[in-house]
Structure 1
Amino acid sequence: MNKSNYVSLSGTLVKDAIIRKNDKGSDYVLFTLSVPQTGTKWYDYINCIAFNENAAIIAKSPLKGTPYHIEGRIHTSSFDRNGKKHYSTDVVAEKIEMVNQND
């Protein structure tokens, strides 16, 4: 993993993960983690995507409130919809583990 673009997050799923297949039939999963901000009572909501075997890990327990630790990289993109430019920032999960809720 490229350490110059490295993210490590622990949080819980905000809503049930969305499981999809790409044009080639490979699984991918879209999910949002609620990650507590250090030293505050506030949370950040981070959009994430996982592919292949990492998608399978989330797919085993894709329900709202499930705790996960992920490591990955930030990916930015843009797209046009109805003549308006939209921007997206996501974390591409390259390592995922479900966290014991007692930890």
Structure 2
Amino acid sequence: MVGGFLLYALVYLGFAFVQAPWQAWGLFALYGLHLGMSQGLLLALVANSIPANLRGTAFGFLNLAVGLALLPASLLAGGLWQTLGAEATFITGSLFAIASVLLLFSQRNKY
């Protein structure tokens, strides 16, 4: 999970400073790798943490939480893009990914 989030941080940092189309395409490929590294692990973490009879509910709540978090995240990204530009938006996304890694490390001994 940490590796996937760190890759996300690097990809977003790369998007902030991309200069050529081939660089953007390479970053899109790495973004796909990030998804492959992190999405399956998140779902496995939920599946392994919840009793079998509550897994459907847990996945529903996970998707609800993601959906609710996307609205303020999108508003923040749109506001940053409009006021400060694309670079600030991608750098902020990268910083949030690094903060997520730090949160994962702080919770490491609880699971």
TM-score, length of structure 1 as denominator length: 0.28
* Structure with greater helix share of residues: 2
> Which structure has the bigger radius of gyration?
2
Compute the TM-score of the two structures, normalised by the length of structure 2. 0.27
Hey, which of these two has a bigger chunk of strand by percent? 1
Q: Which has the higher contact order (CA 8 A, sep 6+)?
A: 2
